[in-house]
Chains A and B, each alone.
Chain A
Amino acid sequence: MTEFLMPSLGADMTAGTLAKWRVATGDTVQHGDIIAEVETDKGIIEVEVFESGVVQRLLVSEGERVPVGTALAEIGTRGLGIGPSGTGSEPEAGVILSHGASDVPLGGPMASPAVRRKAHELDVSLGRVRGSGEQGRITLDDVRSAALPAAASSERVRISPYARRIAAERGVDVSVLRGTGPGGAIQASDVLSAKAAPPSKPASSAERMQNAIAAAMTRANDEIPHYYVEHTIDMGNALAWLKEVNATLGVSERLVSGVLVLRAVARALQKHKKLNATWQAGKVVPSDEVHVGMAVSLRGGGLVAPALRNTNQGSLSDLMARMTDLVSRARAGALRSSEMTSATTTVTSLGERGVEAVTPIIFPPQIAIVGCGATLERPWVVGGQVVARPVMRVTLGGDHRVSNGHEGARFLSALDRLLQEPEEL
């Protein structure tokens, strides 16, 4: 059994509101299914599950706000013939299916009914308890030990559903409460004796989003040792090719220049793998896949930067269709969790607003960002002659913890070369 946790959907997200369940107890889910909607400061995000199995229990009710890392549901794999890693192997330990008010054990670790009752009372998942009894049998002491607050599990708030409901009603932030119940669990009395948050005018969604952006950018400025390199790219070949191709395509299949830039960035990341990574828990985490982030401004104010997944794959028409869909969903507030967390490098373009150059800030935990200015006719030397050419200034912001200006400059040179041969993209 695995726990489906409140994901971190942004650099500074500490909590989210479970807006809606898309599944019920007993439903079968597949890897990649959207099973919940979570409201964050950046809008409603559709959250996918990355295990296949059966929903055993929904642990958080719709409307509840819980910290990142809180278990939202339990997903069991028993009966599907697949293990947690999808390899199809041993029975999953500790699976308990909810049937109405009673929990019915369906196998898993050996534990007496009393132990199971105690585990339920203390909110301990038996699948995570190592039994010290005969033949690995889980004892009451094992459950009590598992319920004790430990450094590794301190991020998860232990709280009864009743106490959580009262906290939500009274506006009490449970993440700052000290529980007096078993294992440090927060009880209703803890909530009742806590001070409710002072009533204040709630921030609008636009204000919350701007605050979230500000927090993420402050963190980025504080933590990431940025460097910048700049390059001017002759876009003449790319635009001429695009014009020629669009003239042969129906209206519904036309491409925009942004799709060429995104594809070229993805291909350049393939060549310069150092920039295709994230920075997590103090170290570089390389990515095998290429998911380029795309900054999308929202007309009501605000900014989101979802990933256009597998940006290096498929035809340009396919990429164009996916980009259109992504932008539409970003503006409609219907992004998915995988799109909010998988990018390594984001492309931000303000060229359409006439800006010549952009010096962007990296979105943590990403480690690079590409800023594109306007494509403008400028004097350019071609074959010893000064001619007017459409050129675009591109700026790479890199993270010195991961790469240096030399690597960044080579990336931009690669990007330039790729855009000179648009037919190869």
Chain B
Amino acid sequence: MTSEEIRATLLKCLSDVAPEIADEEIEDEMDLRDELDLDSMDILRWVQGIHKALEVEIPEEDYGKIATLGEAVDYVAARV
């Protein structure tokens, strides 16, 4: 699976959680909480969506490693 494919999947999962945020608004280095206004429940639902789509389980203690979309793509790419 390429990074672009992972990115597209993560964006789709993010869109399921926060459909009011357009994909074009999301840049790889944006902080998901501070800049996109996601809260802990959104992050959990995103993590659940990623698990369902790619079977990658992200433990709670690793949430800090997926603070941006770019970080999350790298995190998942190393495990998928």
B74 interface contact, C-beta 8 A: no
Candidates B18, B39, B40, B48; contact of A251 at CB < 8 Å: B48
Say whether B20 contacts A331, CB under 8 Å. Answer: yes
Within 8 A of B (CB), among A61-86: none
Say whether B57 contacts A299, CB under 8 Å. Answer: no
Contacts of A297 in B (CB 8 A): 37
Say whether B21 contacts A251, CB under 8 Å. Answer: no
A332 to B20, CA, bound (A): 9
Say whether B18 contacts A299, CB under 8 Å. Answer: yes
Q: In the assembled complex, how far is the CB of residue B40 from the closest CB belonging to chain A, in whole angstroms? A: 5
> Interface centre among A251, A327, A331, by most B CB within 10 Å?
A251
A324 to B47, CA, bound (A): 14
B33 interface contact, C-beta 8 A: yes
What mask results when residues 309 to 340 of chain A are scored 1 for a CB within 8 Å of chain B, else 0?
00000000000000110010001100000000
Chain A, interface SS category:
helix
Say whether A352 contacts B21, CB under 8 Å. Answer: no
Contacts of B21 in A (CB 8 A): 299
Q: In the assembled complex, how far is the CB of residue A300 from the closest CB belonging to chain B, in whole angstroms? A: 5
Contacts of A256 in B (CB 8 A): 40-41, 44
A352 to B20, CA, bound (A): 20
What mask results when residues 1 to 24 of chain B are scored 1 for a CB within 8 Å of chain A, else 0?
000000000000000001111000
A298 to B39, CA, bound (A): 11
Say whether B41 contacts A251, CB under 8 Å. Answer: no
A306 to B45, CA, bound (A): 20
B51 interface contact, C-beta 8 A: yes
Q: In the assembled complex, how far is the CB of residue B44 from the closest CB belonging to chain A, in whole angstroms? A: 6
A221 interface contact, C-beta 8 A: no
Within 8 A of A (CB), among B29-80: 33, 37, 39-41, 44-45, 47-48, 51-52, 57-60
Candidates B39, B48, B60; contact of A246 at CB < 8 Å: B60
Q: In the assembled complex, how far is the CB of residue B49 from the closest CB belonging to chain A, in whole angstroms? A: 10
Say whether A254 contacts B20, CB under 8 Å. Answer: no
> Interface centre among B19, B39, B40, by most A CB within 10 Å?
B39
Say whether A324 contacts B40, CB under 8 Å. Answer: no
A323 to B41, CA, bound (A): 9
A258 interface contact, C-beta 8 A: yes
A7 to B57, CA, bound (A): 45
- Chain A interface bracket (under 10, 10 to 19, 20 to 34, 35 or more): 10 to 19
Q: In the assembled complex, how far is the CB of residue A358 from the closest CB belonging to chain B, in whole angstroms? A: 15
Within 8 A of B (CB), among A277-328: 297-300, 323-324, 327
Q: In the assembled complex, how far is the CB of residue A348 from the closest CB belonging to chain B, in whole angstroms? A: 13
Say whether A324 contacts B41, CB under 8 Å. Answer: yes
A218 interface contact, C-beta 8 A: no
Within 8 A of B (CB), among A133-182: none
A378 interface contact, C-beta 8 A: no
A251 to B41, CA, bound (A): 12
Q: In the assembled complex, how far is the CB of residue B50 from the closest CB belonging to chain A, in whole angstroms? A: 9
Say whether A251 contacts B33, CB under 8 Å. Answer: no
A87 interface contact, C-beta 8 A: no
A200 interface contact, C-beta 8 A: no
Contacts of A300 in B (CB 8 A): 20
Say whether A352 contacts B60, CB under 8 Å. Answer: no
What mask results when residues 241 to 256 of chain A are scored 1 for a CB within 8 Å of chain B, else 0?
0010011000110101
Say whether B47 contacts A251, CB under 8 Å. Answer: yes
Candidates A243, A299, A331; contact of B60 at CB < 8 Å: A243
The residues of A with any CB-CB pair to B shorter than 8 Å are 243, 246-247, 251-252, 254, 256-258, 297-300, 323-324, 327, 331-332, 352
15 contacts between A and B (CB under 8 A): A247-B60, A251-B48, A251-B57, A252-B51, A252-B52, A254-B44, A256-B44, A258-B40, A258-B41, A299-B18, A299-B20, A300-B20, A323-B41, A324-B41, A331-B20
